[in-house]
A and B are shown apart, each in its own frame.
Chain A
């Protein structure tokens, strides 16, 4: 979101075509969309090599796993703590495109590559990890320089009022989206969720990823220790990945509800047509 003006330089109104997303935001958005998908699917392949999660430094087959996807007598299940859910057909046991029953955690359509290969999953994952980390660093520095963070993501004190936050939550729940020039600014919930992704979730993914590396653990043991050990870092890595999936799903749902064509145009070309006020429309 950049300019608050329309092309003629006057205050923007509903119906105007305005500049919305900067080029840097648009490029990062699409690079990240591809990167996160590749990292998720190759990450699920790596998880399939040992589909159990632990807390602490160590954890292997003889130790207690707080999370597990497995199969018993050919029936897939997912277990969290003492709660076990049958998941046959999708998780733990499933049929591959060749009609063969497989006993792996995540199914072929969710992993990269689709056929089991820890090597190939790692090659994809470790290459795109660079794209994610370097992309985030460049984007954050650039957004600091061009004011995107200060202007669009930073939440000034006046926006932290409880009544306003509550109104924003209610507006979202009723699917009432801002119109006119108000649609050019991120609402409180948008800012909070973008900040969460930029400053918490993606950095956590990078840190927990590094925390699993035995070499990093030698030169930066604090990274692994911060999470309480290598296996804890692996668990947090897994949980944050699903938090990012949750963000993407809500993000896509919001785009669909707010007008997919207009939103897609703005994240591809940067141009956005301001929605009319509700009063204008009726």
Chain B
């Protein structure tokens, strides 16, 4: 019996030792750029298959009764800078969204103009990369209508969203490709749950790109830029979290 206990103890000790060796081994292995990029190709494979299977599929839309009682505000809860604060205090009366880059007609669109465009209203589920979800109703013009209005060039491959919030010392931004830019549910929401967007949720405009995770849904959108490449835009990875922590640019899974 004592032998059995001893061997069990030895077994546990071996297990713990082996386990921590395995752990530090995995962490070391992960620091090898080649290994990490091999693992990251798993994410690329998700993007390719999801894109192939999803094509133009619409995200599920819900009923009014499905809306979350409280929609969690995450990330930046306020815009930065004196300009932003002044516009916020004035209800964004003299504010305008800038649309530029690879477009024939750069635009400055006041909120009234955005409200006067054909609107899309959708009740969708917002899925955070952390794991939580909230359902809300969003309304605003389609991004595709805006791009058409500005005469976006066929050379444009990406749409970059420049934001007024500063998170962890760096300005927030995001980007999507033309597949998502022309998707009918991709809108610039100025209204949430029937009220103008409040500051915590990204007033005056928030991007909704429904088939991707929450960090792609840029808040406090000030400027939309059409570009051929993401190179040269901030850290070059196409988004704040992509630059800062290495989150995947495609966040469909």
Chain A interface (Cβ < 8 Å from any Cβ of B): 38, 46-47, 49-50, 52, 57-63, 108-109, 112-115, 117-120, 122-124, 126-130, 212-221, 224, 230-231, 234
Interchain CA distance A38-B212 in the complex, whole Å: 25
Residues of A within 8 A of B70 (CB): 60, 62-63
Query: Are the CB atoms of B26 and A112 closer together than 8 Å?
Result: yes
Query: Are the CB atoms of A62 and B72 closer together than 8 Å?
Result: yes
Q: Is B94 interfacial (CB 8 A cutoff)?
A: no
Q: Mark B37-67, 1 if CB is under 8 A from A, else 0.
A: 0111111011000100111011110100010
Given known contacts A129-B42, A218-B57, is B128 in contact with A230 (CB within 8 Å)? no
Residues of B within 8 A of A46 (CB): 131
Interchain CA distance A131-B41 in the complex, whole Å: 12
Q: Which of B40, B43, B133, B211 has the most CB of A within 10 A?
A: B133
Interchain CA distance A114-B60 in the complex, whole Å: 36
Query: Are the CB atoms of B27 and A113 closer together than 8 Å?
Result: yes
Query: Are the CB atoms of B212 and A123 closer together than 8 Å?
Result: no
- 16 A-B pairs within 8 Å (CB atoms) are namely A49-B131, A57-B135, A58-B66, A60-B132, A63-B68, A63-B70, A114-B23, A124-B39, A126-B253, A127-B41, A214-B127, A216-B53, A218-B59, A218-B211, A219-B55, A231-B132
Chain B interface (Cβ < 8 Å from any Cβ of A): 19-20, 23-24, 26-27, 30, 36, 38-43, 45-46, 50, 53-55, 57-60, 62, 66, 68-70, 72, 125, 127-135, 210-213, 245-248, 252-253
Query: Are the CB atoms of A230 and B133 closer together than 8 Å?
Result: yes
Query: Are the CB atoms of A218 and B36 closer together than 8 Å?
Result: no
Query: Are the CB atoms of B57 and A109 closer together than 8 Å?
Result: no
Known: A61-B132, A214-B127. 5 other contacts (CB 8 A): A46-B131, A50-B130, A60-B68, A60-B72, A128-B42
Query: Are the CB atoms of A50 and B128 closer together than 8 Å?
Result: yes
Query: Are the CB atoms of B130 and A215 closer together than 8 Å?
Result: no
Contact of B43 among A47, A126, A221 (CB under 8 A): A126
Interchain CA distance A220-B50 in the complex, whole Å: 11
Q: Which residue of B lies closest to A97 (CB)?
A: B20
